[in-house]
Amino acid sequence: MPDWVYAVILGIIEGLTEFIPVSSTGMMLLAKQALGLPNGFWDTFAVMIQLGAILAVVVLYFGKLWKQVVGLPTDPEARKFALTVIVAFLPSVVLGLIFHDFIKAVLFDNPTVQCISLIIGGIVLLFIDRLAPKPVAHDPFKLPILKALAIGLFQVLAMMPGVSRSGATIVGGMLFGVEKRAAAEFTFFLAIPTMLGAFVLDAWESRDQLTADTMPLIAIGFVVAFLVAIVVIRTMLAVVTSRGLAPFGWLRIAIGGVGLALLNFA
C-alpha cells in the first residue's frame, strides 16, 4: 500500500483512541507493527499527529476555554483554572524529559508490555467504576489544586505504552472524588499542554525526519485524527455519563488478550 494509506489508517486509530481509555499510543504501536511499518519516522508520525486530536478539544470547547483565557487578568476563577492545569501538567514535564529517550527506545518496541498494560488497565477500570468514592467535585473548571495535582501524578503512568493517558487521569480524578464526566473533561483540557509539549519535543528531536516527503504524510494523519476525534469526544462523554468506564475496561481486556494470543501463536 502507498504511504498515504498508512497515514490515513493511523490517523483514524489516533482519532478513535486518543480520548477513550484504551491507550492511543499502545494502539498506534500495535497497529504500526501489524502493518509492518518500520521504526523511526512512523514512531515520530504517531506522536506528532496526536496534536490533530488535541485540536478537536480546542474546537469543541473553544467558547469555554476562550472565556478562561480572556478572564485571566480579572477573574480569580479563571486564574485558578489555569493554575490547576499547570499543576497537573508539571509531573509529566519533569519525568517526561528525564525518561523520554528510554521510553521511546525500549518500551515503544515491546508489544508484550503494551498488551499486558492494556489488560491490567482494563481490570483497573472495571474495579474503579464500581468502587470509586462518591464524587464531591463536579465542575472541571473549579477543581481544587490538590485534586489537580493528583490527576497529574496519575497522568505520569501513561508514559508507558499501553497505559491510557485519559484512563489514568480519569481514574485518578475519580479516586479523589471528581465526578467521572468532570474528570473526563479535565483530562481533555490537560491533554492540550501535554500533547503540545510532546509534539514540540519530538519535532525537535526528529527534525531530520521532517522532509518534503514526510510532511504531507503527517498533514494527512493530522487532519484525519482531528476529524475522527471530533466525533469520538462527544461519543465518549455520552458513554461515560450513561454507562461509566466498564465498556472501555472490557474493550482493553479484549484487545490486550487478542494481542497476546497473536504474539504467542504467530
pLDDT in tens, 1-34: 788 899 999 999 999 988 888 777 778 877 887 8
Are the CB atoms for 41 and 211 separated by under 8 Å? no
pLDDT of residue 105: 59
Give pTM, 2 decimals.
0.83
Rg, the chain, Cα only: 18
In angstroms, rounded to a whole number, what is the distance separating the alpha carbons of residues 4 and 220?
7
**Domain locations along the chain:** 3-265
Nearest to 252 by CA among 83, 129, 102: 129
Kindly state the cell numbers that stand for 233: 469526544
Q: How far is CA 46 from the centre of its chain?
A: 12
| All residues at 6 or more sequence positions from 109 whose CB lies less than 8 Å from its CB, including other chains | 39
Kindly state the cell numbers that stand for 94: 519533569
Which residue bears the cell 486509530? 13
pLDDT of residue 104: 59
Name the stretches of the chain with pLDDT < 50. none
